[in-house]
């Protein structure tokens, strides 16, 4: 039987092909919308973009490229069809396009995942500038960079020569692709769980109402939804049939595209507070009296000791997020702040006294 050649886009014939196209379109649309809201929120509060925002924007670019690759895999690589049908109906070049695009997809997936996670870690360091939190974020961030770079290098060297990824007839050696994808997914799940658990010890000690505490936990806990997508994607890997990848990789590629987009969208949720001011906790202002009877201004994380003045200032003035946690003692900096506030109160009373005298005269 004569093998056909095919230059046009492969027709959409089943729900697998259509599902990939619809999900990719929605992921790109929602990612652009939510990241755009995040950037505009910074503009709304006159706050310049920081490292977290730039990482999010870079992740968005890689995410769009990722879903564009999925489009090519469907329309030119025959994703959703059996490999024998592809060869007979559309020619062997279609299968070559499929495997080339899946290689590019792996590189883009690692890049999107890396910058999305770095965006979250930079957010933690901005919201909770505590020494231990910053150190933990830096260590995990270094591991994420090394892990994703290693993943990219590994997928490029898994088959030698490189062309053997899409043409097994040339000869060479290939490592175990199932082991590679399984190891990559397991490490990704562990990193996500550890990263999502970082802020909860700090959030647990917040002095806010139960209702607001639930909102805050939910705001930071939405990332577990992306983790759920990751876990489900991992369960699809054992079902891959490497002799019929265009057909068997449907679910794996579908959720591999959905996962980083969901993570990117959910990582932007804490930055949308300016649009929902009434629903999120707000920093307390004014003066308050401590149990010791000293006047002091309410500050976030006032119980934490050993912080530098710059860290305390960042925690106090961050426009997106500020809380008051449980008291566990008073540092020298806090006592000094109380003295300054008491002095301000004295000056205020003196000014009021002078104004009364001026009115009487």
163 shares its domain with 129: yes
Residue 50's pLDDT is 94
Distance (Å) of CA 210 to CA 55, 78, 196, 217: 33, 52, 21, 10
Number of folded domains in the chain?
Answer: 2
Residue with tokens 């010890």: 201
103 shares its domain with 150: yes
Report how far residue 80's alpha carbon sits from residue 99's, in angstroms, rounded to the nearest whole number: 14
C-beta separation of 277 from 208 below 8 A: no
Residue 357's pLDDT is 65
119 shares its domain with 64: yes
264 shares its domain with 295: no
Residue 94's pLDDT is 93
Report how far residue 202's alpha carbon sits from residue 127's, in angstroms, rounded to the nearest whole number: 11
Q: What is the CA radius of gyration of the chain?
A: 27
From 261, 279, 297, give the residue that closes a domain: 279
Q: Please name the residues in contact with 59: beta carbons below 8 A apart, sequence gap of 6 or more.
A: 112, 115, 116, 119, 260, 264
Report how far residue 129's alpha carbon sits from residue 312's, in angstroms, rounded to the nearest whole number: 8
In a domain, 273, yes or no: yes
Residue 285's pLDDT is 36
In a domain, 10, yes or no: no
In a domain, 85, yes or no: yes
Q: Which two tokens stand for residue 49?
A: 């973009």
In a domain, 2, yes or no: no
266 shares its domain with 146: yes
117 shares its domain with 234: yes
**Tens digit of pLDDT at every position of the chain (361 positions):** 444 445 668 999 999 999 999 999 999 999 999 999 999 998 888 889 999 999 999 999 999 999 999 999 999 999 999 999 999 999 999 999 999 999 999 999 999 999 999 999 999 998 888 888 899 999 999 999 999 999 999 999 999 999 999 988 888 898 888 889 899 999 999 999 999 888 888 777 766 677 777 777 777 777 788 888 889 999 988 888 888 999 999 999 999 999 999 999 988 988 887 777 654 444 443 333 333 333 333 333 443 334 444 444 444 445 454 444 444 444 555 555 566 666 666 666 666 766 666 666 5
In a domain, 292, yes or no: yes
145 shares its domain with 233: yes
C-beta separation of 102 from 249 below 8 A: yes
pTM: 0.75
19 shares its domain with 73: yes
Question: 331 lies in which domain range?
Answer: 287-360
CATH of the domain at 157: 1.20.1070
C-beta separation of 311 from 195 below 8 A: no
């Amino acid at each position: 039987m004569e093998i056909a050649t095919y230059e046009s886009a492969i027709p959409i014939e089943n729900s697998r092909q259509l599902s990939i196209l619809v999900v990719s379109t929605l992921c790109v649309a929602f990612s652009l919308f939510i990241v755009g809201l995040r950037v505009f929120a910074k503009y709304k509060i006159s706050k310049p973009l920081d490292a977290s925002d730039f990482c999010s924007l870079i992740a968005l670019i890689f995410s769009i490229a990722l879903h564009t690759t999925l489009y090519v895999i469907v329309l030119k690589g025959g994703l959703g069809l059996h490999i024998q049908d592809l060869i007979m109906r559309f020619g062997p070049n279609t299968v070559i396009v499929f495997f080339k695009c899946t290689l590019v997809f792996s590189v883009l997936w690692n890049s999107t995942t890396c910058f999305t996670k770095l965006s979250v870690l930079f957010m933690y360091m901005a919201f909770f500038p505590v020494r231990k939190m910053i150190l933990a974020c830096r260590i995990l961030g270094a591991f994420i960079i090394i892990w994703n770079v290693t993943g990219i290098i590994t997928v490029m060297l898994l088959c030698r020569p490189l062309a053997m990824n899409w043409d097994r007839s040339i000869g060479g050696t290939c490592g175990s692709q199932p082991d590679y994808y399984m190891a990559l997914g397991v490490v990704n799940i562990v990193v996500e769980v550890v990263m999502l658990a970082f802020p909860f010890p700090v959030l647990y000690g917040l002095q806010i109402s139960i209702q607001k505490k639930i909102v805050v936990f939910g705001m930071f806990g939405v990332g577990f939804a992306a983790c759920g997508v990751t876990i489900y994607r991992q369960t699809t890997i054992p079902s891959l049939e490497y002799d019929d990848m265009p057909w068997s990789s449907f679910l794996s590629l579908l959720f591999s595209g959905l996962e980083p987009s969901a993570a990117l969208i959910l990582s932007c949720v804490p930055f949308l507070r300016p649009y929902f001011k009434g629903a999120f906790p707000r920093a307390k202002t004014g003066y308050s009296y401590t149990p010791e009877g000293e006047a002091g201004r309410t500050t976030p994380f006032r119980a934490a000791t050993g912080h530098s003045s710059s860290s305390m200032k960042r925690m106090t003035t961050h426009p997106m997020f500020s809380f008051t946690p449980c008291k566990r003692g008073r540092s020298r900096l806090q006592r000094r702040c109380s003295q300054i506030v008491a002095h301000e109160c004295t000056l205020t009373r003196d000014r009021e006294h002078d104004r009364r005298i001026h009115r009487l005269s």
